[in-house]
Structure 1
Amino acid sequence: MVDRLANSEANSKRIGLVESCFGAAGQPLAIPGRVLIGEGVLTKLCRKKPKARQFFLFNDILVYGNIVIQKKKYNKQHIIPLESVTIDTVPDEGELRNGWLIKTPTKSFAVYAATATEKSEWMNHIGKCVRELLQKSGKSPTGEHAAVWVPDSEAPLCMCCHKVKFTPVSRRHHCRKCGFVVCGPCSEKRFLLPSQSSKPVRVCEHCYTVLMSGGLGPHDSISRPTSNFNNNTLSDDEDDDNSSD
């Protein structure tokens, strides 16, 4: 079915409409063989709070953006190659239900559908696209994934030292290795994690010690450590905003 739709006029019009909704700031999406499988609004668990995001599933990429005007305008376009995606279900908890993890080497996060049926359909379609892509390319599934960040609201205290209470002055930071919320003193170290950045990124004291000792999983990819902040690293604002998410 995907092959039949690839060069159809209907598919081209649908992709063109998605491009127009993102405007000039979005990247072109129409390439030979690309098919728009489905779309919908999912709740993305962001650092500050859950937020509605518009998602588009293609046969080779997953695209999402902020909703400016429903079905008409989106911004802050994100494009995720499906070859690098792994998905895992998330147990229902409180008001957060029908969720799953979208995990990639550069960024991992949780999303939630409105119903269990929508969740099942999304996961089935994403899984099928990933399997077909890997089968065609002959590649193996990605084994390395970025940590899912713990939301700020779940950490009133530093998750490393368990002593520092977060306030407007004592800011929260996220370890890029484990995703824990940690205080400034517990996250002064930086380490180069090539799958996430070309520059050293913030890690907590525990992860820094493990990384320095070579305590790595079989698929981890790391490089030169650093414990000093300099002009080649992200500023605190960039570091903590997580690309406005």
Structure 2
Amino acid sequence: MKHLDQDSPDYDHTCFVHDELNRIAERCQEHLAISSAQLNKLKLRVNGKPECFEKQQLLWHGLLKKLPPRKYTDISQYYIILFSDCILICGESGNKLEIKRQLSIKNIRVEIIERERLSSASSNSTNFQQLSPITYYPFRIDAIEKSYEFIVDKESDREKWMNKIRQASEDFQRRNTTIEIRQSFRRSDEQQLGTHAPIWVNDADVTRCQICHNSFGSKLIPSRRYHCQSCGRCTCSSCSTKKLILKYCNNNGEVRVCDLCYRNFTGIDRNRFSCQKITRDENKTILFGDFRLLPSKSTNWIELQEDYQLHIYGGKLDQVEDFSINLSELIKIVFMQDTLKFILNGKDKTYQLSMEMNHQIMYPKNDYIDKNIQNTNNKLLFYANLWNDTMQLARLKITPVWYTRKRDSADSGISNM
């Protein structure tokens, strides 16, 4: 291809043949990956040799990086084997594979996690322009027995794994005669609780109990965290004292559940600690993202609301703020583009915010932002300028022209630029 001029009359036909040969090669590789010879190789590697090797069809296999359920650090690697009726999650030790868990294909769900993170190859650099961002692509496998979050380096690899699992699930449903008749309405989450292993809330996403909203490690509640085995919420010990037998794990006996799930199952409401007043309001959120609040080394989540204040949260899913900064009372806001730092000068105090390479941002769906982000070569700088422009307007008690309120109120005190 590189020796053929693009103006040549044979160029288009050659491109077509080249692409077709690539597709044929990919199909051949896929067939070899699930051949009987490959199945025999896997048999020799797996300890225990479960029945699925004899009675089920091999559909796909390979290494995947797994995100832990509690924290996003210490990413581990697992070997995944997809059969027609189950998925084997295996740990790798040398050439041997040890089965950690077997997941049923029945009612399995697979979905993209909208969290594409950036990491730098040169973390010691202070200038973000010298860093080499790497994007990885997460997805979730949600089975009856357990949920797993995996990441891959290529979007095409994520698409292949998700398509393979979805196809296996659809084929499984067609093979089985007892097909669930779906109702015309969707059952509420409360009705489905206990029938399926929950997706655990990650410890890194909360610094407060998700029931009473008190901070972990405060005078009111200890630092120990518990995950509800019904819904996956992260709670304190005082908000998860009850146990129930759940359908998806009834062989394990009674398991610990949070107060909300206990009330949904039994109708009994327990007296709890007084709850903190919730300050998160998605209907009033203009921008929401993570920053490093200097000189602290910890990451905070900052929400810019219609009240022209920055509400500071310890975790992504916290509903109660640690404190707030009234932008309209600041003397000035300085944005340092070379280091992606914001200096917020107030009358009595100065705040410094640092945007990291793995910055995550959320905003109401907006065609203006989506269109402009597609036309930029540096998304991180685009988001930094978006934050700067929006905070500068908020200091003047003005909302950006692209922002649309989710409610109509004649006396809301909101103005657009």
Given the two structures, how large is their TM-score scaled by the length of structure 2?
0.44
For 2:64, which of 42, 50, 59 is the aligned residue? 42
Aligned length: 200
- State the Cα deviation string for residues 123-176 of structure 1 (Å, max 9, x = none): 111111111111121343697532101122222222222214149x73221101
Matched, 1:209 2:263: yes
* Preserved CA contact (<8 Å) 1:54 1:64: yes
State whether residues 189 and 204 of structure 1, in contact with CA within 8 Å, keep that contact through their aligned partners in structure 2: yes
1:163 and 2:163 are equivalent in the alignment: no
Greater Rg, structure 1 or structure 2? 2
Change (3 A) 1:180 1:94: same
Superposed CA offset, 1:42-66 (max 9, x none): 1222224432211111222111112
Give SS of 2:148's match: strand
Q: 1:59 to 1:93 in 2, by over 3 A?
A: same
Matches within 5 A, 1:49-198: 49=71, 50-69=75-94, 72-95=95-118, 97-140=136-179, 144-166=195-217, 170-198=223-251
1:191-215 Cα shifts (integer Å, max 9, x gaps): 111212331111111111122129x
Q: Distance in 2 between matches of 1:75 and 1:30?
A: 14
CA separation in 2, counterparts of 1:140 and 1:153?
A: 39
Q: Which amino acid aligns with 1:203?
A: V
Question: What displacement does 1:76 show?
Answer: 4.1
Deviation at 1:18, TM superposition (A): 2.1
Is the CA contact (8 Å cut-off) linking 1:191 and 1:200 kept in structure 2? yes
Corresponding letter in the other structure for 1:15? L
Hey, what does 2:41 align to over in structure 1?
17
Describe the SS at the equivalent of 1:30: helix
SS at match of 1:91: coil
Any unmatched runs of 5+ in structure 1? 1-9, 215-245
Unaligned runs of 5+ residues in structure 2 are 1-33, 119-134, 183-191, 269-417
Structure 2 partner of 1:4: none
Quick one: which amino acid aligns to residue 126 of structure 1?
I
The one-letter amino acid paired with 2:163 is N
Give the direction of change, closer, same or farther, for the CA distance of 1:166–1:139 in structure 2 (3 Å limit): farther
Q: Closer, same or farther in 2 for the Cα pair 1:183/1:103, shift >3 Å?
A: same
CA 78–19 in structure 1, closer or farther in 2 if over 3 Å, else same:
farther
Q: Distance in 2 between matches of 1:158 and 1:76?
A: 34
Whether contact under 8 Å (1:160, 1:182) holds in the other structure is yes
**How many angstroms does 1:28 deviate by?**
4.3
Q: CA deviation at 1:12?
A: 4.0
Q: Distance in 2 between matches of 1:63 and 1:108?
A: 13
Structure 1 CA distance for aligned equivalents of residues 205 and 92 of structure 2:
26
| Cα contact 1:100–1:112 (8 A) shared by 2 | yes
Deviations 1:201-245 (A, max 9, x none): 11111111122129xxxxxxxxxxxxxxxxxxxxxxxxxxxxxxx
Which is bigger in relative contact order (C-alpha 8 A, separation at least 6)? 1
Q: 1:160 to 1:76 in 2, by over 3 A?
A: farther
SS of equivalent to 1:84 = coil
Q: Which moved more, 1:138-147 or 1:108-117?
A: 138-147
Moved over 4 A (4+): 141-144
Q: Which amino acid aligns with 1:87?
A: V
Q: Distance in 2 between matches of 1:181 and 1:73?
A: 35
**Letter matched to residue 202 of structure 1:** R
Given the two structures, how large is their TM-score scaled by the length of structure 1?
0.71
